[in-house]
Each structure stands twice: as structure tokens, then as C-alpha cells.
Amino acid sequence: MTGQNADCAPDSGPREECGIVGVYGSSNAADLAYLGLYALQHRGQESAGIVASDGRSIQSKKGLGLLSEAISPFELDDLPGHVAVGHVRYSTTGSGRVQNIQPLVIEYSGGIVAVAHNGNLTNARCLRQAYEARGSIFQTSTDSEVFVHLLADPQHANAQDPLRHALNAVKGAYALIILQADRLTAVRDPYGFRPLVLGRRADGYVVASESCALDLLEAELVREVEPGEIIRIGPEGLRSISLGRAPRHARCVFEYLYFARPDSVVFGEVVHNVRLRLGAALARTWPVEADSVIAIPDSGNSAALGYARESGIPFDIGFVRNHYVGRTFITPAEEKRVSSVKIKLNVIRDAVRGKRLVVVDDSIVRGTTCRERIANLRRAGAREIHLRISAPPITHPCYYGIDFQHADELIAASKSVEDIRDFLGVDSLGYQTIEGMVESVAGDGDGYCLACFAGDYPVMAEQGIGKHALESSR
């Protein structure tokens, strides 16, 4: 199977933001993978799965819901072995099927393989159509399944390095952990869209989407899996090879803004520190006289603190989050999202009544959730509300694994900032500038994906389908 058809439009199928973890060398690898998934639960709450191997046989447990609902700790006894891979998943509407739960496991001529994927492939539909035309049967509706078909394809399976050969056919965003008998393989796509880190324990290795999983597993953070790197871990130790270089790196800046936990190191920087800088940049760009700075928890907390420190306005707690409900942004149906707002965040009335508030949030996607929160602050007696947003306006869809796929879901794609301010019912609205965001992220700000803010799609443009994406978003 060769690469994609350049005429293919971006896939309109399920998009996912997921958490993945792999453990090698510990006698209780599945137990550790389970702990790692707990740390990564914020990256997906709709299903969870663990596959473990003792080098001879491979066993798996999967289920829908939060990790504790999907897999009972008592079931981990059924997952013996020193190699394990785990996955927590968020799926969009209609794709929460049991068959889609990862890691995906298949048996082919090369043995049994389990694949955990975070990201979204931009040519999955083309690859799938080509395989289906040749008679292949797909078990799931996820883009991730093309990986297992590629691996089983004799064209790749008979190559000197089957995985490397197969991955050359894939475009888009992927952080992968693959389990095979006595080995674990971690891969990051050449653009480096999604994060993946390597950790070391006394008895082996851990790879995970975020370093917060390593902390829980008492693994020392070694480094990022580099963009375009394949790390193979087996009885002979760890080996790194290059998958290939991309014209540029394109780390997803949304990991800093929203997805990653503040205690994680992502793309080489502590997320909390980046968010502090984002908040400080907002304070410099959009100063205002106010009595207190409050956050939309949790992802707005660090940026609100950054705003407060930079501006000298006291930080306060205005909302309290109920942590036992899923995240609204990643709940599939619109009606669910709106109705869950009140369940998830409650206003501390005394903290807001009669106050001029700076409210710091991470981003505005559709605006409906934000509007309801603002209305709740008004009902609680807030005198003035000055909304500050850590992200610039999101004007373009994401095709790399974050769930805003269509421009008509994005309020900033069709409304001016003044119209959005009016829609939200705030006294002033200040978005981060792209420059302010780039200055706040790790390194020199180079090598990040900014496509949802600027429309410059790193992969789409290269393949001639970015134009389609841009046109469809206007």
C-alpha cells in the first residue's frame, strides 16, 4: 500500500484526544499501566484498555467509561507480564463503540500486536478505502485501525523494518505505543504534534503521553520521544532509530493551553510555567482596573495566577469545580455540554458579588459554555466582568486530533471579537495575541502548530488539501 491520494479531503470520521502509556521490564507491568492511565484520565474518559504480555501470551481488558469503571483493579491479576500498554480515550458522537476501545489487538503472520494511538491521521480514510477495496475487513470506525492493517500488509510486513516501512504510508498526527510479545515500541510522528515522553524506572522503562504519569510510576523523566523517532525496548535494551524528518516540527500548542495537566512536562517545559507566562502576557496586552482575578478552573488556574501577579490585582477563587463529572469540552453532544455547565462549576457568591472581575479562561471554542458561566457570575452579582482568554481566537478546524473539526463550530470563525463579547455578555474581552502565545511557550516559540489560530496547516498544505481546509472554514 502506498501513500495517500492527494485528492482526499480531510477525514470526517472520529477525532480523538487520548492518553497512552507503556511499561517495559516491571513484573507488574499492567498494574503500573493502570496507575499511569489514572494520571492520564484527563485526556479521555469514555473508555480505557490495557494489554499485557509475559513474552508468550498477550491478554487484554477493556471497557467503556472512566478507568475505574472500565477495568476493575481486581482484573489486573488477569494481565500478567512485564510488558503492558494502556489507553484512555475520548471519542466524538457515535464513535463510542466497544470495538473502538484501544489498544487495538490483532493477530497476523508476524504475531500478535497491540496498538495504542493518540492523534489523528489525515489520510486514514484514503488508506482504509484502499484496503477495503482489496477485501480487508475493518473492525472499528477509528482511524487508528489503519496502523494494524498496514503492519499486516505483506508489502510492509516483508520489508526489512516493517514498522518503519508501514509508517511511511501514514500522514498526520500520531503518538504510538506498540506491544509485541517481548517488546515495546514508541513512535512520534515526524512533526511531533502529540506529546510522548520516555521515563526510566529501576526495573525498566515507561513511555507516556505526559510526564505526570511517570511521577505516579516513580519513573524518572529521561526525555521526550523526539519527533520522527522510533524507540524500541526489548530484552537487549533500548534502541532509537529515525523514522524520518519533517520539513518542520508542529507541536500542538493546545497541549499547553488546555489539554495537558499543569504538573506535566510537555515539549520540554512544565505546563504550569507556560500558563503563568500566558497569563502574564494577557495582563500586559489587556490591562484593566478590577478588584480580583478569577479563573475558570482547572485549565485557567495557572494563567489567572500569571495575570494576577503581572497586574498586581489579587487572585481569588470564584468557581469551584466538581471533579467527578467529565470535561465539558470533550463531552460528545452539544446538549450535554450546555446542561452540564452548572453541574461542573459552582460560583462562590461572596467572592464575586459587587466585584469588578477579571475572568481568565483557556480558550473559547463554541462560546456556549462560556456564555453560561458568565451568566452564572452575573446572577451571583458580579458588577463588571472582563474576560481574558489565554488562546488567540480559534478560527480554523483542527485535523490532528482535537475535537473541533468544523469551522461552523467555532465562534471566532464567523464573529468579530466585539460580536463575541456581546454574545458572551461581558464588559470587555481580550484574547491572547499569536505573538503573546508564541513568546510564552517553550524554547524560541518555533516548531509549534498554530493551524487553528492562523490556518497554516503543516500537513494539509504540504499535501494540497490545506486549501480545502481553509475554504471550508470560511
- Give the active site residues: 18
Nearer to ligand SF4, 278 or 452 (CB): 452
Q: How far is the CB of 95 from ligand SF4 (least distance, A)?
A: 18
Q: How far is the CB of 110 from ligand SF4 (least distance, A)?
A: 32
Nearer to ligand SF4, 254 or 329 (CB): 254
Q: How far is the CB of 407 from ligand SF4 (least distance, A)?
A: 12
Contact 218, 199 (CB under 8 A): no
Contact 299, 309 (CB under 8 A): no
Nearer to ligand SF4, 62 or 337 (CB): 337
Q: Which of residues 225-284 bind ligand SF4 (CB under 6 A)?
A: 252-254
- Take residue 61 and report the three cell numbers written for it: 481488558
Contact 120, 400 (CB under 8 A): yes
Does 449 engage in binding with ligand SF4 (CB under 6 A)? Answer: yes
Stretch that binds ligand SF4, among 47-55, 146-154, 366-374, 445-453 (CB under 6 A): 445-453
Q: How far is the CB of 404 from ligand SF4 (least distance, A)?
A: 7
| Among 402, 426, 438, 460, contact with ligand SF4 (rule: CB under 6 A) | 402
Phi and psi for 144 in degrees, rounded to 5?
-65, -25
Does 329 engage in binding with ligand SF4 (CB under 6 A)? Answer: no
Q: How far is the CB of 380 from ligand SF4 (least distance, A)?
A: 32
CA angle 202, 207, 209 (to 5 degrees): 140
For residue 86, what are the β-bridge partners?
21, 50
DSSP state of 256: I
Instruction: State how far the alpha carbon of 16 is from the alpha carbons of 124, 234, 469, in Å.
Output: 13, 29, 18
Nearer to ligand SF4, 205 or 400 (CB): 400
The pairing of beta strand 237-242 with beta strand 183-188:
unpaired
| Among 126, 166, 413, 452, contact with ligand SF4 (rule: CB under 6 A) | 452
| Among 152, 400, 410, 430, contact with ligand SF4 (rule: CB under 6 A) | 400
Query: E strands of 258-381, at which residues?
Result: 265-266, 269-270, 292-295, 319-321, 345-347, 356-361
Does 319 engage in binding with ligand SF4 (CB under 6 A)? Answer: no
The pairing of beta strand 384-389 with beta strand 356-361:
parallel
Does 351 engage in binding with ligand SF4 (CB under 6 A)? Answer: no
Cα 402 to Cα 418: distance, rounded to the nearest angstrom? 26
Q: How far is the CB of 120 from ligand SF4 (least distance, A)?
A: 9
Does 357 engage in binding with ligand SF4 (CB under 6 A)? Answer: no
Q: How many residues does the chain have?
A: 474
# of chain residues touching ligand SF4 (CB under 6 A): 11
Cα 281 to Cα 284: distance, rounded to the nearest angstrom? 5
Q: Which of residues 162-221 bind ligand SF4 (CB under 6 A)?
A: 193
Stretch that binds ligand SF4, among 322-330, 352-360, 382-390, 395-403 (CB under 6 A): 395-403
Does 286 engage in binding with ligand SF4 (CB under 6 A)? Answer: no
Nearest to 101 by CA among 136, 68, 140, 71: 140
Q: How far is the CB of 250 from ligand SF4 (least distance, A)?
A: 7
Backbone conformation region of residue 17, classed left if phi is above 0, alpha if psi is from -120 to 50, else beta: beta
Cα 387 to Cα 244: distance, rounded to the nearest angstrom? 43
Nearer to ligand SF4, 205 or 254 (CB): 254
Query: E strands of 70-217, at which residues?
Result: 83-89, 104-108, 111-118, 175-180, 183-188, 197-201, 204-208
Nearer to ligand SF4, 150 or 450 (CB): 450
Binding site for ligand SF4 (CB under 6 A): 193, 252-254, 398, 400, 402, 449-452
